[in-house]
Amino acid sequence: MSMSNLQIGLALAGGLVLAAMLAHGAWTSRKNQPRQATPDDPIDPTRTELQGSGAIEPGFDAAAFDVGNFPLPMLDKRLSMDALIDVMAPITLDGPVSGDAALAAMPATRRAGSKLFSIEGFNESNQRWEMPQAGQRYATFQAGVQLANRSGALNEIEYSEFVMKTQAFCESVNGTPDFPEMLEEVARARELDQFASDHDGQLGFVLRARNAAWSPGYVQQNAARLGFVAGSIPGRMVMSASVAGLPPVLELSFDAQAALADDPAQSAIRELAISLDVAQVDRSERAFVRLREAALWLASSMDGVVTDDNGRPLPSEAMDVIGAELEHLYDTLDQHDLSAGSALARRLFS
């Protein structure tokens, strides 16, 4: 029995609907897949490629990422020990002590509780204070313990440990320590800790995906275009400082589990964070400008939106306010001899 034209038409229509549904399902599946890195696009293109004509999204300030446009920070030459942030106890000696003997007498750890413990000797040959070195001779020593760090102020127990470690060192080198009064130093530690708490700037923007999620490779490829490199921890990338050996200018982080997955390409990342530890980075690095421009460029390139920790979008006006407040913070740190990026600031805010 032959099918009527109506039956044939309905069958064809049904087939077309089914095909359309299958096609839509495949399209939706592809749409929901994490965005992938482009195989033909190198993960770490050169700065010239990034800043070439037409390669930069509108609103991106390429100069913010060109270290040739601003002065390089200088490595801080100040001694590791400083009365501003350390308790210091001078040690008089019966006679000169070799660096080898001093090193043998050093305690096993450079900590008193959670605070940095240090011993420095005055080098007779170069007339300067330094950590004891083999083959040198020292006319006197000084011991110190840090007054405060991000774990809090020096307390009585930590001060007592500082005294015991110093006394043990002195017994080995025939030295006599002169300790400052404990309660006065603990009170000074609390004052410094309060100042540090009030001026500890740690900024961060969150970048959230608008639609499709991102794969780790996609995030890494886009971040690499701004100079971010892989950090030592999975899911972490850093923008290095202009001077080798200094802390990174910015840190980019995303879910470490996504980076460690058996098939990272299938890991779905819906947000990442870009952060700045203000006290650790020299002011001349223009870190906030770079933080802001990096967040906006990545948002444009990766179809994301820049928000605060609570998911609220951050308009330009809000970023302007943050930038102005940050300049005031820099000025305050400068006025207290704790300039951002200095050796003292890096120790205090650690």
More confident residue, 318 or 11: 318
Q: Which pLDDT value is given to residue 5?
A: 55
Domain boundaries, given as residue ranges, for the chain: 47-69+200-348, 86-197
Sign, CA dihedral 128-132-133-136, equals positive
Architecture per CATH, 86-197: 2-Layer Sandwich (3.30)
Contact criterion met (CB below 8 Å) for 258 and 216: yes
Looking at residue 41, its pLDDT comes to 55
What proportion of the chain, given as a percentage, has pLDDT over 70? 79
Phi-psi region of 135 (alpha: psi -120 to 50; beta: other; left: phi over 0): left
Least confident of 72-76, 78-82, 186-190: 72-76
Q: Tell me how long the chain is.
A: 350
State the number of CA atoms in the 13 A half-sphere of 119 facing the CB. 30
Using one digit for the tens of pLDDT, what is the confidence trace for 110-157? 999 999 999 999 998 888 999 999 999 999 999 999 999 999 999 999
Token pair of 234, please?
């999975």
* 288 vs 10, higher pLDDT: 288
Question: Of the ranges 56-65, 125-134, 300-309, 322-331, which one carries the lowest mean pLDDT score?
Answer: 56-65
CA–CA separation, 304 and 183 (whole Å):
53
**Of the segments 12-21, 151-160, 310-319, which one has the largest average pLDDT value?**
151-160
Q: What is the pLDDT of residue 64?
A: 56
Give pLDDT, residue 7.
54
- Say what the pLDDT of residue 32 is: 60
pLDDT at 333: 98
Least reliable range by pLDDT among 45-54, 218-227, 280-289: 45-54
DSSP state of 309: T
Q: Where is average pLDDT lowest: 11-15, 99-103, 266-270?
A: 11-15
Q: Which amino acid is at 222?
A: N
In this prediction the pTM is 0.79
Residue 334 pLDDT > 60: yes
Q: What is the CATH number of domain 47-69+200-348?
A: 3.30.1400.10
Averaged pLDDT for residues 79-91: 92
Identify which has the larger pLDDT, 13 or 87: 87
Instruction: Give percent of the chain above pLDDT 90.
Output: 71
**344 vs 340: CA distance, rounded Å:** 9
Q: What is the pLDDT of residues 217-237, one digit of tens each?
A: 999 999 999 999 998 899 999
